[in-house]
Amino acid sequence: MPTSITITSEFSGSVVAKGATDDLSAQLLRHAGFKQIDDWHGRRHRLPTTTPLAEQVAIASHAAEMLRAARYDVTLPPSLDTARMSPPVHALGPYAAGAELLSITD
């Protein structure tokens, strides 16, 4: 059964990853830029509080991608997910202008 890891933004503004109890998930989070903290709450990871918001989103999204690739179940809010922030792409891609011109001339 895959381990569930939750990456969230707390009220203080810091981004925290909880549920990384094994060494592989901890290594992936450290590789993404999270710092490991071992305290009375157990093992958890967080980004430094001085990390700019754009970098927090990029790091959290990258960490989630790596963890999902390693078959972990990751919960990531939409506010930290760059995949959901990308603008919609026209269905015809680079041919959108040609399709508009064709619809005008018909």
pTM of the model: 0.73
Q: State how far the Cα of 20 lies from the Cα of 26, in Å rounded to an integer.
A: 6
Q: Exposed, middle or buried: residue 12 (CB in 10 Å: 0-12, 13-18, 19+)?
A: exposed
Q: Are 7 and 60 in contact (CB under 8 A)?
A: yes
Q: What is the pLDDT of residue 39?
A: 84
Q: State how far the Cα of 40 lies from the Cα of 58, in Å rounded to an integer.
A: 29
pLDDT tens, residue order, the chain (106 aa): 467 999 999 888 889 999 888 999 999 999 999 999 888 878 889 998 889 999 999 999 999 999 999 999 999 998 888 766 555 565 666 666 666 766 777 6
Domains and CATH numbers, the chain: 4-105 (3.30.70)
Q: State how far the Cα of 13 lies from the Cα of 48, in Å rounded to an integer.
A: 10
Q: What is the pLDDT of residue 71?
A: 93
